Structure 1
Amino acid sequence: MQFYKEKLLSPGQLKRLNEHKYSCTSVSLMDPFLQPWWNWLVSKVPLWLAPNAITVLGLTVNILTTLILVWYSPDAKIEAPRWACLLCALGLFVYQSLDAIDGKQARRTGTQSPLGELFDHGCDSISTVFVALSACIAVQLGYYPTWMFFQCFCAITLFYCAHWQTYVSGTLRFGKVDVTEAQFTIIGIHIISGIFGPSIWMTEIPYIDGFELKYLIGVMTVVCTLANLYSMFSVIFTGGVGKNGSTIPVPGVGTVSNFVAVIFYAGYIHVFVEFCRVFESGGVGKNGSTIAGTSVLSPIIPFSFVVVPAFIIYRKSAENVYENHPALYILAFGMVAAKVTNRLVVAHMTKNEMQYLDTALIGPAMLFLNQYFNFFIKEYYVLWLCLIWVTLDLLRYCSQVCLEICDHLKIRLFRIPTGGHRIGTSQTSTITEKNGTNRLQRNRLQKKHH
């Protein structure tokens, strides 16, 4: 697959990218306690190692450890080896730690740029798919295919909505229970599966007939999703009569396995609440629109082209392609969602309108048309073709966008310019933002640049 013949980013977008300022707020419960670990870890990283290299290294570890789990349990029903679950927990911890220090390394070396923010979010969009899938395999959710579908797409949707909210408000917001808390919860799930075996989640909770431990995960998922989505949509839904119709009137069971589902649903409800709060405050664009001056609801269209076909194809499959190959199915549609999310991040950083259609949708279209024409080709093979197409399309898009930005900013993607090493100011501060970006430190660094 060749690169695009035309530039993906216009001169106007690149100019607005230069003007982009990273804005983030965080009230995470766990981040303050992890700051000492992150600060110590980044102090051991050599100054010649580029921040983006740290990010991609963490993502690679996360993907490889998850794929080992997928290899042993592709249907999420087979009990994966305990060591594979423990390895997955370690891989996620490595990814989480490296993802937290890439920004710190950029400040240490004086190589902060919009490219670093884009690269970090792009890797996160891919990692979200693998992390959600690994958690489902660790608790053998393949026995509950609809629940597994919901669980994975909840995670993907929350990540997309977080950046949708950013597209509207201009600020990336992390709640009290957010990414870090979710990652360590899943690390805990992998550790429990590694110590006691994945079958532990089938244990029934005493005095609650038919309620398995894994159901707690489902409950946590629902609660956290609704809470965070509420917070995010509160920012989006209060847009004014801005460009492109930005105004929207809004009226004022007993086994151990089931128990885990409850915990996750609770967490998702919290995410939903936070999401809606942000939307209610309106966009930062003209008359309450997005930063690009577009409708605050416009990003829902491209994402619906991912989720809706995924559900329809799953339900209409005569060969039960999703039930028989859930990991492959989630990865295929997860890569499509990652591509759409990356385009949303680019639209936010370049203050540009987001296009509705995307070449990655050709993959799901293959499956849909194959069903429409009465399964001309075996669905399993079409699913593999879909995964290959969307993965190559995602890599092609991300590569070209990064290369265009590198060329515009005159920087290297994975290399630090000679003589560019610089140790930043003290890593500690009483005012700490996400992943250790503290306001005091940031102001000092900006003064040094000037």
Structure 2
Amino acid sequence: MGYISPEALQNLHKYAYKGVDKSILSKYVLNPFWTWFVTLWPLWVAPNTITLSGLSIVFFNFATLFWYDPGYLAEKGGVLMPDWVYFSCSIGLFLYQSFDAIDGKQARRTGMAGPLGEMFDHGCDAMNTTLEVIMASQALNLGRSWWTVASQVATLANFYLTTWEEFHTGQLYLGVFSGPVEGILIIAAIYAISGVYGPSFWDTGMLTFLHLTNVPIINQLPDMSLNDSFMAFGAFGVAFNLQASYRNVRRARLASKKSTLQPLLLLLPFVVSAGIQVLWLTHPRYDNSALINSSLFVPFLCAWGLQFAHQVGRMILAHVTSQPFPWWDWIWVWSLVGAVDANLPMLVGRPPLFQTNETNRAIAVYLTLAISFVTYGRFCTLVINDITNFMGIACFTVRKKDKDGNWQESVPDSGKKSL
């Protein structure tokens, strides 16, 4: 009942991480900082401990934000968030990026680089993605809106594209502008600006902000708000990343004399899974409220994020173990049932079978969240156990097994560079 067959486990020995980062900011500013920052960590700290510490900071930021805005209404709903919460989110996201960047360096310092770290890092990134979408949308004063849903789709699409590209090319490719580098710094800046001016600042028109409303010709353009403009920028980013990722995949497929069109079919699982979630959100108003306008909106997005984390987790697992690409995820059936039930008034002209009122709808959403959490938790537990047992390592301890099967502290070779 596990995720890795005995044959696939053998392929773990063949795995070697490959990455390309063309970011100028990363090369000349961030990487020198990360190289120094990792030296502050003792060699007895496991790389995965650093990764989990970064995610824990994000969890704290997420909990703090919803302590002050449990209804996820932002300033549009009259909620005045303390300024320090946004500054905390900004610092927390920067720390997450830093911790996420140095875990690989720590792995090389301690001699623990390998597929387990790749899986663990990817899994934390997948969970952080949805949490940051929710927090950033609140900071942008979007709250419960289709713009927040669009942000979720766009951000998850970028993450899926990166994983899809790595599966086909064998390496993680970060371009001159990427989400893990420049994208994170932009979001951190958004938090900081919201801390100074408040989320309502982002409702300011772009032309008004640039003082162009009195300039001839330009003042004929719509004065789109700053948050709407940021959403348009995000859509452009998805389109750019799609063509860039496919270009890299196509180059790799041509080099190996394989079909260049077949990988495009493997984008369909994301389209299907995202489509199911959006279908559930678009159910008609058969009573006084719709899901997207209720307090269930954030739990729903969290359930969606956990299902996505399970989906891309299986993709990266297939990559590191040389298994076939995972086309299907059974949890889609559960969400599809919820989506169809909610849309029965539109489909067959009758009320939903279960989601007939706010209480039943809450049960359906929170049950979906619980099932998604258990499913992803089971995936993480089984995969970590399989890899650690097979490779004779520990997930959160810098140690290895000797030839007699006894645990020994791992000491890097004295001649190794502290990368």
Q: 1:298 to 1:400 in 2, by over 3 A?
A: farther
The residue correspondences of 1:386-425 to structure 2 (distance < 5 A) are 386-417=368-399, 418-422=408-412, 425=416
SS of structure 1 residue aligned to 2:268: helix
Residue 284 of structure 2 is aligned to residue 321 of structure 1: no
- Shift of the 149–119 alpha-carbon distance from structure 1 to 2, 3 Å rule, reads same
Contact 1:58 1:99 in 2 (8 A): yes
Q: Structure 1 residues 19 and 142 mapped into 2: Cα distance closer, same or farther (>3 Å)?
A: same
**1:283 CA drift (Å):** 2.5
Question: Which residue number corresponds to residue 229 of structure 1?
Answer: 242
8 Å Cα contact 2:61/2:85 also seen in 1: yes
TM-score, length basis structure 1: 0.78
> How do residues 188-227 of structure 1 correspond to structure 2 at under 5 angstroms?
188-204=189-205, 205=208, 206=211, 207=213, 210-227=223-240
The residue type equivalent to 1:352 in the other structure is Q
Aligned with 1:301 (options 268, 272, 282) = 268
The one-letter amino acid paired with 1:47 is L
Per the alignment, residue 118 of structure 1 pairs with 119
- The alpha-carbon deviation at position 101 of structure 1 amounts to 0.6
CA contact (8 A) 1:132 1:155 kept: yes
User: Whole-Å Cα distance in 1 between the matches of residues 182 and 379 of structure 2?
Assistant: 30
User: What is the distance in 2 between the residues matched to 1:338 and 1:135?
Assistant: 19
* TM-score, normalization by structure 2: 0.84
- 1:355 paired with 2:364, answer no
The question of whether the paired residues in 2 share the 8 Å contact of 1:363 and 1:387 is answered with no
Structure 1 runs of 4+ aligned residues shifted over 6 Å read none
Report the equivalent of 1:157. Answer: 157
Residue by residue, what CA displacement relative to the aligned partner does 1:39-86 show, whole Å, maximum 9, x if unpaired? 221111011110011101111111221232234335543233322111
Shift of 1:286: 5.7
CA distances 1:239-260 after superposition (whole Å, capped 9, x unpaired): xxxxxxxxxxxxxxxxxxxxxx
**CA deviations over 1:187-233 (Å, ceiling 9, x no partner):** 00000001111111122323156422223311321222211111012
Match of 2:16 in 1: 21
Please report how far the alpha carbon of residue 400 of structure 1 lies from its aligned counterpart in structure 2 after TM superposition: 0.5
Higher relative contact order (Cα pairs below 8 Å, separated by 6+ residues): 2
Name the stretch that deviates more: 184-193 or 382-391.
382-391
Alignment match, 1:376: 354
TM-superposed CA distance for 1:88, in Å, is 1.0
Q: Is residue 283 from structure 1 mapped to residue 253 from structure 2 by the alignment?
A: yes
Give, in whole Å, the separation in 2 of the partners of 1:35 and 1:309.
39
Is 1:168 aligned to 2:168, yes or no?
A: yes
Structure 1 residue 317: Cα displacement:
4.3
Contact 2:47 2:107 in 1 (8 A): yes
Partner of 1:81: 82
Residue identity matched to 1:22: Y
**Cα contact 2:162–2:172 (8 A) shared by 1:** yes
Tell me which amino acid in the other structure corresponds to 2:366.
W
Contact 1:70 1:134 in 2 (8 A): no
Q: Hey, what does 2:50 align to over in structure 1? A: 54
In the other structure, the counterpart of 1:185 is 186
Shift in CA distance, 63/375, structure 1 to aligned 2, threshold 3 Å: farther
Question: Over alpha carbons, which structure has the higher Rg?
Answer: 2
Write the letter of the residue equivalent to 1:19. Answer: K
Matched, 1:7 2:20: no
Shift of 1:366: 4.4
Instruction: Indicate conservation of the 8 Å contact 2:74/2:142, yes or no.
Output: no
Matched with 1:311 is 278
Q: Deviations over 1:274-319 (max 9, x none)?
A: xxx21332427964259xxx94234323323310101111112434
Distance of aligned partners of 1:69 and 1:284 in 2 relative to their CA distance in 1, 3 Å threshold: farther
The answer to whether the 8 Å contact 2:83/2:196 transfers is yes
Cα pair 1:370 1:379 within 8 Å, conserved: no
Kindly provide the amino acid, as one letter, of the partner of residue 352 in structure 2: N
Superposed displacement of residue 328, structure 1: 2.0
| 1:50–1:106 contact (8 Å) kept in structure 2 | yes
RMSD value, Cα: 2.2
Deviation at 1:369, TM superposition (A): 4.4
SS in 2 for 1:211: coil
Q: Secondary structure at 1:281's aligned position in 2?
A: helix
Query: Where does the alignment leave 5 or more consecutive residues of structure 2 unmatched?
Result: 76-80, 214-218, 345-350, 400-407
- How many residues are paired up? 376
Q: Secondary structure at the match of 2:121?
A: helix
Equivalent of residue 332 in structure 1, options 274, 295, 303:
303
Give how far 1:361 is off: 2.3
Q: Is the 8 A contact 1:108 1:424 kept in 2?
A: no
- For 1:375 and 1:82, locate their aligned partners in 2 and report how far apart those are by CA, in whole Å: 44
Alignment partner of 1:63 is 2:59: yes
Instruction: Tell me which residue corresponds to 2:216.
Output: none
* Corresponding residue to 2:313 among 326, 331, 342: 342
Counterpart Cα distance in 1 of 2:250 and 2:70:
41
How far has the Cα of 1:420 moved from its partner?
1.3
Identity in percent? 28
CA distance in 1, matches of 2:329, 2:321: 18
Gaps of 5+ in 1: 1-5, 234-276, 428-440, 442-450
Name 1:239's counterpart in structure 2.
none
Deviations 1:375-434 (A, max 9, x none): 52332221111111101110110111111011110111111114412267445xxxxxxx
